[in-house]
């Protein structure tokens, strides 16, 4: 009798997978109108991708025979919520699209500002979030929600300390846990917060959705204050808006350069896209890199790019969000210093090019290198960390300098608070990354070989470095740097 229960659950789960895939296939048949294949996100692209992901997950679940990390809030609970939500959202989309066999949709569906168009755009964005969520928690079809690494280290610590290995929990429980660190007023603010975090509108919060929210409204210490000023009170914030809709909305302000709006990026989860009217009347969209949104908006305001949120003359003051965070202090042990010196190097020197100082931190792994090496590495189509091969979800510009004062009792207390951060930035016993052939003004040796650009050799043998903690003989301070670029103009 006990063995029949797991078999019954597996049968119900398999049936739910089958229904979901068939429903997506029928929806795909309803997307015959070529006007539905506009810029991303596009239903004609999302539906087959989501169906394929579901097949991969179903196959992996059958192959595993129900074994693996389950428990409350695990893979099974997530899939129950996910599949029920997918079915509900699919039926809402089906009601908006023309019946199967009819090639053209209702013209109102594509009329600017119409109710049907807004409904379809929002549902398309929800499908985009659901596709990204499933891919993140089931890479290759295999569940990883219990080990999912949030991008921001403090957000990751909060989730694992309060939610454990769970990857999903009901909104009411999540709200109660969030109030431990960030109190929420029990009024309409709660509803606004839920609509911002619950990207898939399922009534639950997944670790993936929380990761996206904490990346958008960083830094962690002022998370809800950032959200309040940027999402609730700011007239430039637009939720559930696509690239095309941003262009359409800003058309009204073509004669008012400096008008702007911002939204979460559709194609790059966890990043912002800012649309603005340039001085020559063009409508541009950009994704700010390496910095919180409020910093990008303040810098853009000084440069004359972001002056009129949604065309309004009053631009909110965001300077109160610029309070400096406590500096991250990294202690380098005497043994580690001796290893750096033996290699004719220093902690702050980039270990890939050995020419420039480290000035960027890769997230979520926390490894440090120089921005030139990171740009060259990513230009070679690699989106993983060159040290540990962890997927790069974000990057933060930093500056490193030596503290003149020796270690004190205060430093010792700081070190206890930063041990988790230390493991993110000190050398580890991983293979050294390949040296990239970057142009330099003064090569360290005349015998230095030059090879074709981006011809990346294989990793060298690992160099074991100590991982134990000792009282530091040198203290280095890592601070966020305002130097960062903006880029990625185009569909976002």
Average model confidence (pLDDT) for the chain?
80
Q: Tell me, what's the pLDDT at 433?
A: 47
Range with the poorest average pLDDT among 246-255, 368-377, 413-422: 413-422
Q: How far apart are CA 293 and CA 256, in angstroms?
A: 22
477 or 91: which leads in pLDDT: 91
Q: How far apart are CA 272 and CA 264, in angstroms?
A: 5
Q: Beta partners for 173?
A: none
Query: Within 31-42, where are the H helices?
Result: none
* pLDDT band per the 50, 70, 90 thresholds, residue 82: very high
Residue 446 has pLDDT above 50, yes or no: no
270 or 484: which leads in pLDDT: 270
Write down the pTM of the prediction. Answer: 0.76
Closest residue by Cα to residue 122 from 98, 100, 93 = 93
pLDDT tens digits for range 298-328 = 999 999 999 999 999 999 999 988 865 545 5
**Per this entry, what is the length of the chain?**
492
Q: Please name each of the domains of the chain with its CATH number.
A: 9-146 (1.20.930.20), 148-222 (1.10.238.10), 234-321 (3.30.505.10), 328-399 (3.30.40.10)
Q: What is the mean pLDDT of residues 19-29?
A: 94
* pLDDT band per the 50, 70, 90 thresholds, residue 32: confident
Q: What is the mean pLDDT of residues 447-453?
A: 39
Q: Tell me, what's the pLDDT at 455?
A: 41
DSSP for residue 357: B
* pLDDT band per the 50, 70, 90 thresholds, residue 129: very high
pLDDT tens digits for range 366-413 = 899 998 898 888 887 678 899 998 888 888 878 776 655 444 334 433
Residue 474 has pLDDT above 50, yes or no: no
* pLDDT band per the 50, 70, 90 thresholds, residue 414: very low
Q: What percent of the chain has pLDDT over 90?
A: 48
Q: Tell me, what's the pLDDT at 328?
A: 57
Q: How far apart are CA 68 and CA 75, in angstroms?
A: 9
Closest residue by Cα to residue 117 from 256, 284, 258, 242 = 242
Residues 268, 271, 275: CA angle, nearest 5 degrees: 95
Range with the poorest average pLDDT among 186-190, 261-265, 466-470: 466-470
């Amino acid at each position: 009798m006990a063995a029949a229960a797991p078999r019954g659950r597996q049968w119900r789960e398999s049936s739910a997978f089958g229904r979901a895939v068939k429903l997506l296939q029928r929806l795909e048949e309803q997307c015959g109108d070529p006007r539905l294949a506009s810029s991303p996100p596009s239903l004609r692209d999302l539906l087959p991708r989501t169906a394929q992901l579901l097949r991969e997950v179903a196959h992996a679940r059958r192959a595993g025979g129900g074994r693996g990390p389950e428990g409350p809030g695990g893979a099974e609970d997530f899939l129950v919520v996910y599949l029920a939500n997918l079915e509900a959202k699919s039926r809402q989309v089906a009601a908006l699209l023309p019946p199967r066999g009819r090639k053209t949709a209702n013209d109102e569906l594509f009329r600017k500002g119409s109710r049907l168009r807004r409904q379809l755009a929002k549902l398309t964005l929800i499908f985009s979030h659901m596709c990204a969520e499933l891919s993140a928690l089931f890479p290759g079809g295999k569940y990883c929600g219990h080990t999912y690494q949030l991008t921001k280290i403090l957000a990751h610590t909060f989730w694992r300390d309060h939610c454990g290995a769970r990857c999903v929990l009901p909104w009411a429980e999540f709200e109660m846990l969030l109030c431990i660190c960030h109190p929420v007023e029990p009024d309409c603010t709660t509803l606004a917060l839920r609509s911002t975090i619950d990207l898939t509108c399922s009534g639950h919060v997944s670790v993936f959705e929380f990761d996206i929210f904490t990346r958008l409204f960083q830094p962690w210490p002022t998370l809800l204050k950032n959200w309040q000023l940027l999402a609730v009170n700011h007239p430039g914030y637009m939720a559930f808006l696509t690239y095309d809709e941003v262009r359409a909305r800003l058309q009204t302000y073509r004669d008012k350069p400096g008008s702007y709006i911002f939204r979460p990026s559709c194609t790059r989860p966890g990043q912002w896209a800012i649309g603005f009217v340039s001085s020559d009347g063009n409508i541009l969209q950009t994704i700010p890199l390496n910095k919180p949104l409020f910093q990008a908006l303040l810098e853009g305001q000084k440069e004359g790019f972001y002056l009129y949120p949604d065309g309004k003359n009053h631009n909110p003051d965001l300077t109160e969000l610029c309070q400096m965070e406590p500096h991250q202090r990294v202690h380098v042990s005497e043994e580690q210093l001796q290893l750096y010196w033996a290699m004719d190097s220093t902690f702050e020197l980039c270990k890939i090019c050995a020419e420039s100082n480290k000035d960027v931190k890769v997230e979520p792994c926390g490894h440090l290198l120089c921005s030139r090496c990171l740009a060259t590495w990513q230009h070679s189509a690699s989106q993983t960390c060159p040290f540990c091969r962890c997927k790069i979800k974000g990057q933060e510009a930093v500056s490193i300098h030596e503290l003149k004062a020796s270690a004190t009792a205060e430093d010792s207390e700081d070190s206890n608070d930063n041990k988790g951060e230390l493991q993110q930035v000190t050398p580890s016993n991983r293979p050294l990354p390949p040296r990239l052939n970057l142009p330099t003004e003064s090569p360290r040796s005349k015998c230095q070989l030059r090879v074709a650009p981006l011809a990346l050799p294989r990793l060298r043998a690992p160099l074991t470095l100590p991982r134990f903690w000792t009282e530091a003989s040198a203290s280095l301070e890592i601070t966020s740097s305002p130097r960062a670029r903006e880029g990625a103009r185009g569909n976002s």
